[in-house]
Amino acid sequence: MSNNFYHYPGWVRLWHLINAILCLFLIVTGFSMLYSDPENALVVKFQRAVAIHNVCGVLLTISYTLFLFGNLFTPNGRNYLISLKGLGTRLWKQGYFYAFGYFKGEKAPFPVGSDRKFNPLQQVSYIGVMYLVLPMLFITGWALMFPEFILKKFLGLSGIFLTDQFHVVLGFLVVVFLFIHIYVSTMGKSMVSNFRSIVTGWQESH
């Protein structure tokens, strides 16, 4: 008898798909804006990249707001409530598993179950990205869309320049997180089991 369990509700799967598409457009247009100029396009022409980036940024902000409401009014929000007691030990165990234990065939110290969506490292990193990095990314992005509200000077430097550089650094952190997220997702029962679960909603038991 299968011990698989329903892990991802429909709204989470839809939100995840929309975010993946929007993030892909934002990354491509962001790099095009960063490493090209109005005369020499890298991937997308500069002005078109700006327009697409802005539209996707607005849509991602809306998607993120719906995610916050979803976590407030559905059981999904409990996955982002972290217990500080023993956190260091749990992080060490999970870090050791990712670095060594997984490759030696050891069992995961905190396997996913019907009562646990994230392991300790995932929980801390997701909280950091979803509740710290992304809000600052949205704030700086919206500020760059309406630069008249940005301080003209801060510590003797252009406020727009500082906001832009901070936005780029935050975007880079999100890109790094996405690469790690995809890699760690291969560490399931099989290389594709976690990817299959975010499509079907059903998680394969380890």
Q: Which domain holds residue 40?
A: 5-203
Which CATH number covers residue 37? 1.20.950.20
Q: Do 4 and 202 contact (CB within 8 A), yes or no?
A: yes
**Domain count for the chain:** 1
Give the DSSP letter of residue 116. Answer: B
CA angle 19, 167, 69 (to 5 degrees): 40
CB neighbours (10 Å) of residue 197?
22
CA distance 91 to 119: 9
pTM: 0.87
Q: pLDDT per residue over 30-64, tens digit each?
A: 988 888 776 676 677 888 889 999 999 999 999 99
Q: pLDDT per residue over 170-204, tens digit each?
A: 999 999 999 999 999 888 778 888 888 888 888 87
Q: pLDDT per residue over 7-21, tens digit each?
A: 888 899 999 999 999
